[in-house]
Amino acid sequence: MSSNVLLTLVDLRKWYRIKKGIFGTVEYVRAVDGVSFNLRRGEAISLVGESGSGKTTLGKTILGLEKPTSGKIIFEGRDLASLDSKGMTWYRRQTGFVQQDPFGALPPFMTVARILEEPMIINKVEKKERRERIYRALTEVRLTPVEDYLKKYPHMLSGGQQQRLVIARAIILNPKLIIADEPVSMLDASVRIEILTLLRELQKRHNLSIIYITHDLSTTRYFSEWIFVMYAGKIIEKGLTSELLKNPLHPYTRALLQAIPDPDAKNRFVIREIPPGEPPSLVNPPSGCRFHPRCVFAKKGLCDKKEPPEFEVEKGHLVSCWLYENTEK
């Protein structure tokens, strides 16, 4: 494997154990159910899928906030499962987390300066360097002039400014990987592009790898090198952003793309197809291909019985769908 690879997932699973009914029968929610991929240094992946498809669980499991049920997470050649607590402290420094709700992610009674200092105190960064890094991080996220922000509390900032602060905190220890989970979905439409552009700039400047999690395919267009589409705990299509948007393969990806509102005024009243039906239960997922109950192309005896493997239809463009069985390059 090339040393250019930062993160590798091998058949990663995260099942939540739940108790159901009066007898308390144990069942499992298969939130992440066999995910494998490589993420290279300096590259961004958009992880797209409907609510409930397992995106947040996947992000948290990668960050070490949830323990995998099975499978492997390999970061810079090190298997996370083999790290002791010192190793995990090292790993936490390599990763940053940006969540959907910036206000909820910020301690309300700490000033901006204190919020940014906290992770550096924990990681024993010396005082002079702490000051320098706070200035640098605030400048990078454009909370400037820095002096105007240092003594402010989170509630004194707008939603966009709060998210900039969360991003500053996420990058303050020079991580190599950022996971941004719906980072703009709670912000005003006017600041969404600004925040995504900022993340993209930081990615380029620091050669960061980013996993950008979103239910909104339309925001990925200018953001990432890759788009991975997640459905019911699995990644069902992977491709370069431009290729996948031009040539979506999986019936689910196609339906998602059609659900994007058309900005062209003359098409405004065209009723667009949205993925019909409901996302499946993750406690008792459908047999075979998990999308088959919603799929107009589903072949009886195949799609409802056998899980499709990944077919590489174009170089680097992979799809888990029986329609592409004989089209591999």
Ligand X SMILES: Nc1ncnc2c1ncn2[C@@H]1O[C@H](COP(=O)(O)OP(=O)(O)O)[C@@H](O)[C@H]1O
By CB under 5 A, residue 61 contacts Mg ion: no
Residue nearer to ligand X on the CB measure, 129 or 278 = 278
Which of 290, 315, 310, 306 is CA-nearest to residue 52? 290
Span of 47-55, 75-83, 133-141, 271-279 interacting with Mg ion by CB under 5 A: 47-55
Nearer to Mg ion, 209 or 214 (CB): 214
Is residue 234 exposed (0-12), middle (13-18) or buried (19+ Cβ within 10 Å)? buried
Whole-number Å distance between alpha carbons of 101 and 84: 31
Interface with Mg ion includes 99 (CB under 5 A)?
no
Q: How far is the CB of 56 from Mg ion (least distance, A)?
A: 3
Indicate whether 57 belongs to the interface with ligand X (CB under 6 A).
yes
Number of H helices, E strands in the chain: 9, 12
Q: x/- binding map, residues 264-283, to ligand X, per CB under 6 A? A: ------------------x-
- Rounded to whole angstroms, what are the CA distances from 92 to 33, 114, 118, 163, 207? 24, 19, 14, 20, 18
Q: What is the CA radius of gyration of the chain?
A: 21
- Which of the residues 150 through 189 are near ligand X (CB under 6 A)? none
Considering only residues 27-56, where is the footprint of ligand X by CB under 6 A?
29, 31, 49, 51-56
Kindly state the number of chain residues that form the binding site for ligand X, as judged by CB under 6 A.
Answer: 13
Judge if the upstream peptide bond of residue 286 is cis by omega within 30 degrees of 0: no
Question: Would you tell me which residues interact with ligand X (CB under 6 A)?
Answer: 16, 18, 29, 31, 49, 51-57, 282
Note the residues at the interface with Mg ion (CB under 5 A): 55-56
